[in-house]
Chains A and B, each alone.
Chain A
Amino acid sequence: EAGVVQSPRYKIIEKKQPVAFWCNPISGHNTLYWYLQNLGQGPELLIRYENEEAVDDSQLPKDRFSAERLKGVDSTLKIQPAELGDSAVYLCASSRTGRGSPLHFGNGTRLTVT
């Protein structure tokens, strides 16, 4: 099966600019996650979707971050405006809803804010 696909792989922007990341999960995976990973740290959850519904967005900085998963498949994560501290790797993952399904990750988007 095809894996989780993310784009772009790398993005360099100036602070205060907007940026968007795209994710296409594995076919049939209802649950989609966006994680942020800083250097030397484990992934930290930003938002989790069950189909179209954002069921956990408690860690998403809503003043500048937004996400959508309109048809329950692809998802977009946006930052507007970006700050220097947003430089990190943004990972998308998907899994089958329910028990016994591990997370499968995309290759991530490495964001550098200058």
Chain B
Amino acid sequence: EDKVVQSPLSLVVHEGDTVTLNCSYEVTNFRSLLWYKQEKKAPTFLFMLTSSGIEKKSGRLSSILDKKELFSILNITATQTGDSAVYLCAVESLTRDTGNQFYFGTGTSLTVIP
């Protein structure tokens, strides 16, 4: 059964701390791994990773994928209160028969305290 597991489930840090969020997966026909940030509404897209070892970076956020060990991490440096959100990991599976399917983890709830 395809599955995506995120850890920790929740995290409380102080402003300025650095956090690492984890995502491990067991998905057949892997195509990509995606990270989303969800505040009180729609998940917003952060990164799409397809190749191992290549870091993607956007400001204070960065992410990397390890396709051999089947996991990804999302790092946030110098956290701010605006980083408080649920961070979702999704894995895309692509097959000729079923097309694109996305499997989501349960998310990591991050709270940044001033």
A15 to chain B, nearest CB (A): 26
Q: Are A44 and B31 in contact (CB under 8 A)?
A: no
Contact A56 B88, CB 8 Å, known A100-B32, A102-B48: no
What is the total number of residues of chain B having a CB less than 8 Å from a CB of chain A?
Answer: 25
Q: List chain A residues, Cβ under 8 A from B77.
A: none
Q: Are A106 and B42 in contact (CB under 8 A)?
A: yes
Q: List chain A residues, Cβ under 8 A from B30.
A: none
Docked pose: A31 CA to B100 CA in angstroms: 9
Q: List chain B residues, Cβ under 8 A from A41.
A: 106-107
A59 to chain B, nearest CB (A): 11
What range describes how many residues of A lie at the interface?
A: 20 to 34
Q: Are B102 and A45 in contact (CB under 8 A)?
A: yes
Q: Are B101 and A45 in contact (CB under 8 A)?
A: yes
Q: Are A105 and B102 in contact (CB under 8 A)?
A: no
Is B74 engaged at the interface, CB distance under 8 Å to the other chain? no
Contact A42 B42, CB 8 Å, known A31-B100, A99-B31, A103-B34: no
Is B13 engaged at the interface, CB distance under 8 Å to the other chain? no
Is A27 engaged at the interface, CB distance under 8 Å to the other chain? no
Task: Across the interface, name the chain B residue whose C-beta is closest to A42.
Answer: B104
Is B99 engaged at the interface, CB distance under 8 Å to the other chain? yes
Residues of A bordering B, CB below 8 Å:
3-4, 31, 33, 40-45, 48, 50, 55-56, 91, 95, 97-108
Residues of B bordering A, CB below 8 Å:
4, 31-32, 34, 36, 41-45, 48, 50, 88, 90, 94, 98-102, 104-107, 109
List 18 interface pairs A-B (beta carbons < 8 Å), by A numbering: A31-B99, A40-B106, A40-B109, A41-B107, A43-B88, A45-B101, A45-B102, A56-B99, A91-B42, A91-B43, A97-B99, A99-B94, A100-B32, A102-B48, A103-B45, A103-B90, A104-B45, A107-B41
10 tightest Cβ-Cβ pairs between the two chains A and B: A42-B104, A105-B42, A107-B41, A107-B42, A102-B45, A105-B43, A42-B106, A43-B104, A102-B48, A42-B105
